[in-house]
Amino acid sequence: MPEFEDPEKKRGVTPTRIGIWVVVSAVGIYMVASGLIGALTSGG
């Protein structure tokens, strides 16, 4: 049974998942920063 639980536990913290998280966070931060800069540029 440990053979079945090991891959499942390792699958929860796969580099692929971390990579997706990094990409999503980067895109979100970029969009927010872009929006703020755009608003400041337009308002100023």
| Cα–chain center distance at 22 | 4
Give the domain extent around 13: 2-43
Phi first, then psi: give them for residue 12, nearest 5 degrees: -70, -25
pLDDT of 43 reads: 75
Phi first, then psi: give them for residue 14, nearest 5 degrees: -80, 150
d(CA 36, CA 11): 37
Q: Could you tell me the two tokens for 29?
A: 């931060």
Number of domains in the chain: 1
pLDDT of 25 reads: 97
Q: Could you tell me the two tokens for 27?
A: 């895109």
pLDDT of 10 reads: 62
Instruction: Summarize pLDDT for 1-44 with one digit per residue, the tens.
Output: 455 556 556 666 688 888 999 999 999 999 999 999 999 998 76
Whole-prediction pTM: 0.54
